[in-house]
Amino acid sequence: MTEQLRLMAVHAHPDDESSKGAATMAKYVAEGVDVLVATCTGGERGSILNPKLQGDPYIEEHIHEVRAKEMDEARQILGVKQAWLGYVDSGLPEGDPLPPLPEGCFALQDVDEAAGTLVKLIREFRPHVITTYDENGGYPHPDHIMTHKISMVAFDAAGDAERYPEAGEPWKPLKLYYNQGFNKPRTLALHEALLDRGMESPYGEWLKRWEEFARKDRTLTTYVPCGEFFPVRDKALIAHATQIDPDGGWFRVPMEIQQEVWPTEEYELVKSHVETSLPEDDLFAGIREN
């Protein structure tokens, strides 16, 4: 193609872009693809998950600004562009019964109205490919599920001149994918590789509780080879210091084992306006050829 390829990754919170598909984005950036992360919320209600930073009064009081700075650092590491949709984090409700979601949060927005914000960004950036979450949100956080909902509406609406006429010139994205990096085949392969080498696996309990997590088996259609960019992914993840403990579970599998045993990131092709044959190894399969 003479036109530059463009990829948009729609995520719920700052840090999601670094834990889901980050190596894929870094790979495409290195190949000259224009990549934009659309972040739906500011992560204002996210807990401080790094024990080294818990109890810091400045971070607790300025969590929105801190997470925005973390996002900017991760963006630079990955080499991507980034835009905020401007919605407020819904938080993760806990307890029995679950408490109501906070007034005005992202998950309580009207889906069609919130999708219009994403439609505007799609029409401005004009992506050929969009990635987002499945109907379970990847995991059932209200903001992840809402991200799925608005992505599905926006993908179909962006190319329709009669919908959201105030949002700019129509643009029809060609392919829509769900991120499926946390899948059972990958988890099992890494688990068994660690055990075969006489090492402890962090995935044993995960695998026992897979059904409890309500994680149904997904159809993995697309395996993007990006193992050489796993270190970039981890560096971007660590940039989200309030969310990630650099000594925590994310990093318990040695890099060389990850790159040897499972050097891809996985996706589920959901919608395509171009012909492609499955399985794929490229999110732009069927687009490059046309």
List, as residue ranges, the binding site for Zn(2+). Answer: 13, 16, 144
Binding-site residues sit at 13, 16, 144
User: Using an 8 Å Cβ cutoff, are 261 and 189 in contact?
Assistant: yes
Written as six digits, the tokens of 68 are 């925005």
C-alpha distances in Å from residue 205, one per residue of 123, 187, 288: 44, 11, 41
Count Cα neighbours of 21 within 13 Å in the Cβ-side half-sphere: 29
User: Using an 8 Å Cβ cutoff, are 105 and 152 in contact?
Assistant: no
Count Cα neighbours of 18 within 13 Å in the Cβ-side half-sphere: 27
Written as six digits, the tokens of 131 are 């990635």
Contacts by residues 232-235 (CB-CB < 8 Å, ≥ 24 positions apart):
232/22, 232/23, 232/26, 232/77, 232/78, 233/18, 233/22, 233/23, 233/26, 235/77
